[in-house]
Amino acid sequence: MGILDGKAVVITGAGRGLGEAYAMHAAQAGAAVVVNDVDADLAEQVAEHIRGYGGRAVASTHTVTDPTEAEKIVGMCLTEFGRLDGLVNNAGLNYETLPWEDDPDSVRRTVEVNLLGVIYTGIAAMRVMREQGGGSIVNISSGAFFGQRKLATYAATKGAVASLSTSWALDLETENIRVNAVCPVAHTRMVWKSERSLRAIPADRTPGKVAPLVLFLLSDDAEGITGQIVRCNGRQLHLVGHPYFKQPVLESDTWDTTSVKRVFDGVLQAHLEPFGLEKRMPPRLRELVEPGQTA
Ligand SMILES: NC(=O)c1ccc[n+]([C@@H]2O[C@H](COP(=O)([O-])OP(=O)(O)OC[C@H]3O[C@@H](n4cnc5c(N)ncnc54)[C@H](O)[C@@H]3O)[C@@H](O)[C@H]2O)c1
């Protein structure tokens, strides 16, 4: 008995890396899997591999960046397996650059795959899930959404995926469709391309170590869990807190530049937030915490 017995799931970007691990583990847990990837050879190989072990899988080579193709990915699951219970919106890409050296084509491609792809495939899937009476969507975000050097465009798409997930979770609760986001950490091609990530991520962070979390969220064992952002980083598994309106909330009939300056020079100064994944202190906060060490 696997935790996904009888279910049919779509995993995008499943030809390699984390997506491949989700697909293999989902199949081992009993699911029929649509292995989607624009890299056709890899998608076929993973599907073949699953079938070789006696599992059920078909390859989809559609791109998530086109709404019609996204519908076909989902449609394939219905045609082949007669239902759709889960979607893992995993396809993604990144690149490092200083923001002033970023180029519009790379920006557009990243937004198209990482954000529009998630939206298009998610919309196609939720239409089917509504008809069917429920389902589970797992959107792959990234800790980069807190803000990371040289990854601004990527980080922005992953932040958008986080807020998309919580918004969908609100809209889909009454439809019995759960939506959660996962921030994985694993050695994959995406990490191998970046010297900094290679240094930062220990070699034992393999994609297979993240897969059980994704499987759990897809499964009925996760009933009642929706709107959550969960990070899996080696030995660490934790929830990611949601942004919130921070105290003190100051009130005034009007906020002119003089009164705004006064509160930033005064009460708000100590409440400035460290920012980015590295929790960088803004200079004014640093000056308060470590006087004379503003560099
Ligand atoms: N590796 C990490 O540590 C890490 C950390 C945080 C988030 N993520 C996220 O996890 C997901 C998987 O990343 P990975 O590290 O396995 O990367 P990867 O580069 O190894 O795999 C990504 C796959 O997505 C496919 N893909 C790209 N564009 C596509 C499209 N338009 N349609 C369908 N498939 C497409 C690629 O062909 C590739 O096989 C990504 O969304 C990534 O942002 C990874």
Distance between Cα 257 and ligand 1 center (Å) = 45
Number of domains in the chain: 2
38-73 confidence digits (pLDDT tens):
999 999 999 999 999 999 999 999 999 999 999 999
Cβ(135) – ligand 1 distance below 6 Å: no
Choose one of 10, 183, 190 to mutate for the ligand 1 pocket test, by most ligand atoms within 8 angstroms of C-beta.
190
> What pLDDT is recorded for position 294?
54
Distance between Cα 260 and ligand 1 center (Å) = 43
Domain annotation covers residue 2: no
Cβ(190) – ligand 1 distance below 6 Å: yes
CATH code of residue 175:
3.40.50.720
Range of the domain at 274: 244-295
Distance between Cα 78 and ligand 1 center (Å) = 24
Residues 216 and 288 occupy one common structural domain: no
Residues 114 and 226 occupy one common structural domain: yes
Residue 154 known to be catalytic: yes
Q: pTM for this structure?
A: 0.97
Residues 248 and 211 occupy one common structural domain: no
Distance between Cα 252 and ligand 1 center (Å) = 47
Residues 180 and 59 occupy one common structural domain: yes
Instruction: Choose the final residue of a domain: 223, 239, 255.
Output: 239
Residues 83 and 173 occupy one common structural domain: yes
Question: Cα-flanking dihedrals φ and ψ of residue 48, to 5°?
Answer: -60, -45
Whether the Cβ atoms of residue 181 and residue 139 lie closer than 8 Å to each other? yes
Residues 20 and 88 occupy one common structural domain: yes
DSSP structure string for the chain: --TTTT-EEEETTTTSHHHHHHHHHHHHTT-EEEEE-SSHHHHHHHHHHHHHTT-EEEEE---TTSHHHHHHHHHHHHHHHS---EEEE---------GGG--HHHHHHHHIIIIIHHHHHHHHHHHHHHHHT-EEEEEE--GGGG--TT-HHHHHHHHHHHHHHHHHHHHHGGGTEEEEEEEE---SHHHHT-HHHHHHS-TT--GGGTHHHHHHHHSGGGTT--S-EEEEETTEEEE-PPP-PPSP----S---HHHHHHHHHTTTGGGPPPBTTTTBPPHHHHHHHSTT---
Residues 212 and 230 occupy one common structural domain: yes
212-257 confidence digits (pLDDT tens):
999 999 999 999 999 999 999 999 999 999 999 999 999 999 999 9
- Residue with the nearest Cα to atom 30 of ligand 1? 63
Residues 153 and 223 occupy one common structural domain: yes
Domain annotation covers residue 181: yes
Residues 158 and 258 occupy one common structural domain: no
Domain annotation covers residue 89: yes
Domain annotation covers residue 76: yes
Cβ(15) – ligand 1 distance below 6 Å: yes
Domain annotation covers residue 152: yes
Residues 166 and 248 occupy one common structural domain: no
Domain annotation covers residue 3: no
Residues 187 and 234 occupy one common structural domain: yes
Residues 262 and 213 occupy one common structural domain: no
> What pLDDT is recorded for position 199?
85
Per-residue pLDDT of the chain (295 residues; tens, 9 = 90+): 799 999 999 999 999 999 999 999 999 999 999 999 999 999 999 999 999 999 999 999 999 999 999 999 999 999 999 999 999 999 999 999 999 999 999 999 999 999 999 999 999 999 999 999 999 999 999 999 999 999 999 999 999 999 999 999 999 999 999 999 999 999 998 888 888 888 888 888 999 999 999 999 999 999 999 999 999 999 999 999 999 999 999 999 999 999 999 999 999 999 999 999 999 999 999 999 988 765 5
